[in-house]
């Protein structure tokens, strides 16, 4: 078996390997991406919507991109219409898609024929289509024999970039469209077309800067947190051997990451052994009932009380480290002697200061999309490590 130092070194290497793949991809794709964002902006201005879907773990990408557009994490950005149709995507799409809509389908590296068939329906009705991956569409990533976790991380960087860049075109008023009845949503648009210069080239450069920032932050986490990530994986693995399960939770984009991590445990890729896990964020009836009857601060606490067993692991995902509903769930988990793990941003926030996590893993950034992208790498690497530890190879 490998030593703890060897496990940390392996984790650092896996994190750094991602940077080369992502930087190479975006260097090739940056100008196509910038043009795709320009077209998305035009469609939103004409009343189009973003419709997203996927199956299994890839449904969580649809959830994530939908919440990013509807509830933007950056103050001052406008809400844009987006829907996750994953639960029944083909019939739903056939019922509601319109010519100005933007349709995104997510799938594994080899692609998903059911997703492709739904995208064909959208394309036949003149919608703009994104295939992640696919062979046809307004924008697509060709299928490849790639690591499913790395592809999913690449895709997350990609749709964060789309969201950020669409707003750049809006704010530059570069398109110069009359927004009509949508004027109340976009009061800064449609007044006068600005000189374009070379806005698309500027946007392309901005995308490359974002990817470089992402790589720098991932390298920092690889240096500073690899040992802690290895310790967390070992501690989780020990709880699993004792019969425990993972209880994962988060808000917004972090909720979709909680869902993804749980699915990666129970329906893993590559014929790996399943690991017992639940996501408290994947319970809309429970969440809305508790929020309505008691309050949003206890949406995870009440579920923790119902679900927790002595050998379980409570895993919180939070960019701020200060969300009250996350803190209350961790407090309850500690009362019950659960192992507590937290993926955090900024400086770790109140969770780190109060020592609420046995294993705090911090992405030291104040920009939420970059934090989430690196957190995805972290939990994927933990899942990889759990497979290795479970086989006794580390």
The candidate with the shortest Cα–Cα distance to 308, out of 344, 339, 345, 265, is 339
pLDDT at position 187, please?
39
DSSP 8-class letter at 193: P
Cβ–Cβ < 8 Å for 97, 66 = no
Mean pLDDT of 162-183: 65
Which residues, including other chains, have CB under 8 Å from residue 308's CB and lie 6 or more apart?
A: 247, 314, 332, 333, 336, 338
The tens digit of pLDDT for each residue in 115-149 reads: 999 999 999 999 999 999 999 999 999 876 689 99
The residue ranking higher by pLDDT, 77 or 387, is 387
pLDDT at position 202, please?
85
pLDDT at position 393, please?
61
Two domains, one topology: 11-210 and 217-391: yes
Q: Compute the chain's Rg from CA coordinates.
A: 21
Q: Is the confidence at residue 74, as pLDDT, over 60?
A: yes
Distance (Å, whole) CA 261 – CA 380: 7
pLDDT at position 188, please?
37
For the domain 11-210, what is the CATH code? 3.40.50.10490
pLDDT at position 373, please?
98
The residue ranking higher by pLDDT, 367 or 170, is 367
Least confident of 2-6, 66-70, 159-163, 297-301: 2-6
Mean pLDDT of 311-336: 98
pLDDT at position 173, please?
59
For the chain, the domains span: 11-210, 217-391
pLDDT band for position 189 (cuts 50, 70, 90): very low
DSSP, collapsed to helix, strand or coil, labels residue 195 as coil
The tens digit of pLDDT for each residue in 9-33 reads: 999 999 999 999 999 999 999 999 9
The tens digit of pLDDT for each residue in 86-110 reads: 999 999 999 999 999 999 999 999 9
Distance (Å, whole) CA 216 – CA 16: 10
Helices (H), ranges, 46-81: 59-70
Q: Is the confidence at residue 308, as pLDDT, over 80?
A: yes
pLDDT at position 183, please?
40
pLDDT at position 145, please?
65
Mean pLDDT of 316-332: 98
pLDDT band for position 72 (cuts 50, 70, 90): confident
pLDDT at position 394, please?
53
pLDDT band for position 178 (cuts 50, 70, 90): very low
Residue 357, by phi and psi: left (phi above 0), alpha (psi -120 to 50) or beta?
A: beta
Mean pLDDT of 311-331: 98
Mean pLDDT of 364-379: 97
Assigned CATH class of 217-391: alpha beta
Distance (Å, whole) CA 205 – CA 242: 50
Q: Is the confidence at residue 198, as pLDDT, over 90?
A: no
pLDDT at position 175, please?
53
pLDDT at position 59, please?
98
Q: Is the Cα dihedral 367, 371, 372, 374 positive or negative?
A: positive
The tens digit of pLDDT for each residue in 199-231 reads: 788 889 999 999 999 999 999 999 999 999 999
The CA-based diameter of the chain, rounded to the nearest angstrom, is 66
pLDDT above 90 coverage of the chain, percent: 83
DSSP per residue, 246-293: EEEEESTHHHHHHHHHHHHHHS-STTPPP--EEEGGG-HHHHHHHHHH
Q: Is the confidence at residue 181, as pLDDT, over 50?
A: no
Mean pLDDT of 303-313: 97
The tens digit of pLDDT for each residue in 272-287 reads: 999 999 999 999 999 9
Q: How many residues does the chain have?
A: 394
pTM passes above 0.85: yes
Mean pLDDT of 232-257: 98
């Amino acid at each position: 078996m490998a030593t703890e130092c060897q496990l940390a070194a392996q984790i650092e290497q896996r994190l750094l390997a991602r940077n080369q793949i992502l930087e190479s991809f975006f260097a090739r794709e940056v100008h196509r991406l910038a043009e795709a964002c320009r077209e998305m902006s035009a469609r939103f201005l004409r009343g189009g919507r973003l419709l997203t879907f996927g199956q299994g773990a890839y449904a969580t990408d649809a959830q994530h991109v939908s919440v990013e557009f509807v509830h933007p994490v950056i103050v001052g950005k406008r809400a844009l219409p987006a829907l996750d149709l994953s639960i029944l995507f083909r019939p739903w799409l056939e019922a509601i898609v319109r010519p100005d809509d933007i349709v995104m389908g997510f799938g594994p590296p080899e692609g998903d024929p059911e997703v492709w068939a739904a995208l064909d329906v959208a394309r036949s009705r003149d919608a703009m289509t994104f295939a992640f991956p696919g062979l046809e569409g307004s924008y697509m990533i060709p299928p490849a024999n790639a690591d499913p976790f790395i592809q999913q991380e690449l895709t997350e960087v990609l749709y964060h970039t789309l969201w950020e860049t669409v707003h750049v075109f809006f704010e530059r008023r570069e398109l110069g469209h009359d927004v009509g009845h949508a004027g109340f949503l976009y009061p800064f648009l449609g007044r006068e077309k600005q000189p374009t210069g070379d806005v698309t080239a500027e946007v392309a450069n901005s995308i490359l800067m974002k990817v470089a920032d992402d790589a720098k932050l991932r390298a920092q986490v690889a240096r500073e947190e690899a040992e802690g990530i290895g310790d967390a994986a070992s501690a989780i693995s020990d709880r699993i051997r004792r019969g425990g399960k993972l209880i994962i939770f988060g808000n917004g984009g972090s909720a979709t990451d909680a869902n993804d991590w749980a699915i990666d445990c129970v329906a893993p890729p590559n014929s790996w052994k399943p690991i017992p896990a639940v996501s408290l964020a994947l319970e809309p009836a429970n969440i809305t009932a508790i929020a309505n009857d008691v309050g949003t601060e206890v949406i995870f606490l009440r579920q923790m009380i119902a679900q927790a067993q002595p050998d379980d692991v409570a895993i919180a995902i939070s960019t701020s480290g200060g969300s009250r509903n996350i803190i209350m769930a961790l407090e309850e988990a500690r009362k019950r002697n659960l192992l507590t793990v937290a993926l955090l941003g900024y400086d770790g926030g109140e969770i780190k200061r109060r020592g609420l996590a046995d294993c705090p893993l911090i992405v030291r950034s104040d920009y939420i999309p970059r934090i989430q992208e690196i957190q995805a790498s972290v939990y994927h690497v933990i899942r990889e490590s759990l497979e290795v530890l479970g086989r006794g190879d580390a």
